A = this chain, B = another copy of it.
């Protein structure tokens, strides 16, 4: 249902969509397509500053998506932008890497307990794919345990949509269920002595289902399995990395992976991927061939160095926990006051709101449509992201909008 208000306020957006429909398959592809979102969502964005973003029509929003994770310090953080600009004034993509690569490898290996070395790339998918290749090179084995429903990127081996993908691309992936060691044992019966690695995300963050924190015994069990079998424990920290802990997301659990994949937030929106690994996998990492034309670009590495320093100096994780807690408390109180049964899952820095019995996300869409029209950019089917740029006033403004959104949900009645 498109109301007049949404047509009026998104007229530039509509024009861009019409043009894109001619020259881009489906208008927009991938995770940023809003075709499955309720009307009222802008497809095209024009500007960001701190915790606020503007769409192509100039409508302003408080940003609860952080560009799907990367913008952890807020948009155009002055410290990050200054570091990037200083580097851009010298060079970015060159015949060889810059000193920034060495500095960043030093900074990340110092920051992350399990890391003895680092390699850089451009996408989260680059990083997860490299981890599998290194695990196989190190062990000479083929099987990789992957949690059912987990998202580890969009290459043929891991894309959630198998169109154009062959069975062979996933021939040696063996499924298990997150937080279920019995399912891991069952998978091992298939794997035998052919286990190269186990991929796991720090929390369960599958699309469209409540987030789930890791059972410490599950994490420890995967570590033990890898110790026993000589396989690599691969932590996919692409989405959670630096939001849960200033280091590997499983450090608070006391579980160290052998390899970890990073991207998204490590350079506050500049394109960068990374893998970190233990000494035991250094020779395997050295032995594979992996590269890209822009992988040694110095600007995103300079941005990352500044991002990591600011995150540490300002205790951004602590800041996001405080702000996220304020947001979660407010949402829970509002839902209660409106008599609505909701679930708020995930860490408070990466909250996900669902409505009880709302299997088709009809209520979530009602809520999200009210939010976007009220000036809050959140997602009805994916966890949100709190940034270090959000302040108490932002949260209070969000809550004034969500209160109205819960009211709309209450009026729209129970799910069918």
Contact = CB atoms under 8 A, between A and B. Distances in A.
Interface of A: 16, 19-20, 22-26, 28-32, 34, 42-48, 53, 55-56, 63, 65, 67-71, 75-76, 81, 84-85, 88-99, 101-102, 105-106, 109, 116-119, 122-126, 129, 132-138, 142, 154-157, 159-161, 163-166, 168-169, 171-172, 238, 263-264, 269-271, 277, 282-297, 300, 377
10 shortest A-B CB distances, which residue pairs?
A: A30-B291, A137-B164, A161-B289, A271-B294, A133-B164, A26-B286, A25-B285, A45-B94, A25-B286, A93-B269
Contacts of A163: 133, 137, 284, 287-289
A272 to B, nearest CB: 8
A68 to B, nearest CB: 6
A161 B416 CA distance: 55
Given A164-B133, A164-B137, A168-B168, A291 B29 contact: yes
A154 B292 contact: yes
Contact of A169 (B168, B287, B290): B168
Contacts of A106: 19, 23
Identical copies in the complex: 2
A404 to B, nearest CB: 21
A50 to B, nearest CB: 12
A123 B161 CA distance: 21
A123 B272 CA distance: 12
A314 to B, nearest CB: 21
B285 A23 contact: no
A383 B137 CA distance: 30
Contact of A97 (B43, B48, B287): B43
User: Looking at A31, A164, A263, which has the most chain B CB atoms within 10 Å of its CB?
Assistant: A164
B32 A159 contact: no
Contact of A91 (B75, B156, B296): B75
